[in-house]
Amino acid sequence: MSLVSLRELLVEARRARYAVPMFDVSNAAMMRAAVEVAEEENSPVILAGIEPDLEGSMIEYWSSAARLAAFRAKVPVAVMLDHAATPELCRRAADAGFSGVMIDASSEPFERNVELTRLVATEMHRRGVSVEAELGHVGDGSAGAGEAVLTGSEGTHSVYTDPASVAEFVARSQCDALAVSIGTAHGVYATAPQLKIDLLAEINAISPVPLVLHGGSGTPEEQLRAAIANGIAKINICSEVMYAWHKTLLDELSSAPNLSYWDVTACMKPERAIREVMRAKIRLFGSNRA
């Protein structure tokens, strides 16, 4: 099926009422795991890199491996940049062959968010790259999940998406997908989140573009099902995959007689562990067409 645009994947997911999983992946084994599990489940999938994965020349290694995984795949795969703070990083991703970028100006004032997203969207669309933006702000789970408070000096708290600004934001920013803040948070939850499904339904009724949920890791399954039923077309999973990888690797290394052996051997069990996390998400999100 090969590499497809983020927009194409999400428009179809919204129409058919499932959510495409986006997995943050930091190495080729993680990419292979995500794509092979997606193939086994007959599901589209999104591979995402964030700035630390893409420092310097690493963007070329990362994107070559991700694009190879996409071109080999029997299912549609999008390759995207997660949480870019600047147009420059989006440009580097487009140069490296990504099919989507997220420009995250969600902690900026509304007008600045519109302006920055519009700038990125204009340039990316000329290059056939889709753009995800964020309205409202999804904060950090360890700060207290889903506690939506107005941002003061700290940028870690969530601020719910205001449905009254959605139509204007999408029309002016020209984004292809919109990340909303409805009670999830990034990272590991200190307390379980409580999603505002009514708010989501209201936003979905207005939004011309598919909606995205960040902070999917650790969100109770029933709430994710309700979110998908009410318009979420993409769910980002990072922490659960990284936890499974690192915990399994730690166990593996702790029980090794010595540490002078092949990394690829040490990473066999971690890869199996993340495959099972990814498979469970695909089935939960209903993106499997098996």
Interface residues with Zn ion (CB under 5 A) are 214
Q: Work out how close the CB of 216 gets to Zn ion at its nearest, in angstroms, rounded to a whole number.
A: 9
Partners of residue 148 on adjacent β-strands? 158
Q: Work out how close the CB of 24 gets to Zn ion at its nearest, in angstroms, rounded to a whole number.
A: 9
Q: Among 85, 18, 17, 15, which residue's Cα sits nearest to residue 45?
A: 18
Q: Among 198, 274, 282, which residue's Cα sits nearest to residue 28?
A: 274
Q: Work out how close the CB of 9 gets to Zn ion at its nearest, in angstroms, rounded to a whole number.
A: 17
Contact residues for 105 (Cβ-Cβ < 8 A; gap 6+): 85, 112, 113, 116, 117, 133, 134
Q: Work out how close the CB of 83 gets to Zn ion at its nearest, in angstroms, rounded to a whole number.
A: 6
Nearer to Zn ion, 214 or 234 (CB): 214
The residue number with the shortest CB distance to Zn ion is 214
Q: Among 64, 75, 77, which residue's Cα sits nearest to residue 4?
A: 77
Nearer to Zn ion, 67 or 214 (CB): 214
Nearer to Zn ion, 73 or 242 (CB): 242
Nearer to Zn ion, 143 or 266 (CB): 143
Q: How far is 19 from 89, CA to CA, in rounded Å?
A: 26
CB count, 10 Å around CB of 280? 14
| Candidate list 24, 53, 82, 140, residue with the active-site label | 82
Question: Does the annotation mark 162 as catalytic?
Answer: no
Where are the extended beta strands (E) located within 117-244? 130-135, 177-180, 211-213, 232-237
- The set of catalytic residues is 82
